[in-house]
Structure 1
Amino acid sequence: MPEDDLSAVLTNVAADARPVTRTKIANSPETRAFLDIGLLLLCDDLLDHRGPDLMDDHDAGTRLFAGLSQARLIERAEHEDARREHPRMLTVGMFRDRWRYKSRYTEDLIAYLLRPALVEHTIHDVAEAAKGLPEDLPFADLVRQMVERVMAVTLDDPLWGLRTVVWVALPNHPRVQMFLKAQYEEWIAYWTVLYERLAGRFGLQLRPEYTWHDVAEVFHALAEGARLRARATGSATALSSGDNVLVGAIHMLLPGLFVNPEATTRKP
């Protein structure tokens, strides 16, 4: 494919040069080479990263956290303490008492961010919302309210966005893989039970080639995609019908999953 014009993309390269010169430098083989090498290093540091050498004092740990110096941690802690009734008064000495090497701190930080308790809290939130749905709620309203809740508990949570960055940036990190696998299995197990229970309100019958686990897998995949799209664009995509894309997708899938999709039009 022909090489693209980088002068419109690279706003900082040769910023003080004359326009003609800047365009020439931006599109030079050397500029492109520097950028290609940078991408290779990012792949090494993030996508191919498999964890630090915890015994190496010179290993800075996961490159994703290169900016997390002790000084910055203490500075931010002091900023947060100014708004707290009971300041925590964190010090560098306290940090060093807990983590000798930065790599150990960043590994703990990953584990803290991806810890099961956060997933369990989110599942509990969704479960409470599901319990609160009236038994006589029409199917369309039930789907809409559940989707709104599922989207809200993640999109309104900054830690969900941070977890997404970590698992996308560090797909080969063993601890990230371990935590994500456990998180995924926990969500699927919960959805399997919930969908079967909610469908039972309307007497929906699965086609013989599918299981409720299959339904959970499909709807979970749809929800993940809808959340990522909403995170990137700022809001959930709406179909021409006016429905949220996830709500619309669920309705579209009903005839393929159930032998009696018309049951959703009856009162529970």
Structure 2
Amino acid sequence: MAASSSSVRSWRTAFLTLRDETLTNPPRATVVSLLHHLILSQSETLVAASPYLPPHEVTSDVMFLMELAWNTFDAKGSDDLTDTFTHLSPLIHDVSHRVSLEINPSSWALVLDSFGRMLEILFGKAGSKRTFLGNVAVIRAINQCLGTIKRLLSVYQRKCSPSENKQLLNFLLSIVASSHAELFCSSYSSGNQRCTAEYGKRIPRYNSLWEVQTVAFTMISEVFSRVGPSLPVDIWQSTIEVLKKVMDALAV
């Protein structure tokens, strides 16, 4: 009991301090430093504390983290960006699996937008360097990001409006397209040799981009199985286009 009380105090002190320190909109580097110092450096303690706090309080603090991520993540400073993502994603994932977060349309959109922005920048940074293929920590964090979405969806899916389902599918399709681009480059190397699926075979399937695609495709199929007839034509077309690109690459 004493241990849980101590961890709850740690949670509240950390988030209260973070909120206070970011009220004046400090520079990006300062926010990243505060995130690491106050939150990410004690992730295990905060995760352990989360079940002992009111769900609405945990939800508010998690959404605050997502909002900070949305405002902080940009195309500058790839090193601290990658490090922040690989610590932030597992924290949110573990909390979401211990507490039933109170999701509404606003928070649902924030989660998708924030994770989407993080992943867009990370994939953009990777570019033609194929850096993800050897970075197990980043790929694990992407899988945990998908795990968080899946967990929240299990609670919120019945309330999802058609536009929210479309937003979810666009998010998932962007992950498939980005990971596909990493695994099968469309350009040619300096030796004019085409990149192939061999990139995806150099590391185990678990914690690989192949696993990312598998999870994303599974979630896409679940959405279509649930609400397919109500989805607009453009999302069907986008899905077919992404599927065709992946299947064409696999057929080579």
TM-score normalised by length of structure 2: 0.34
Greater gyration radius? 1
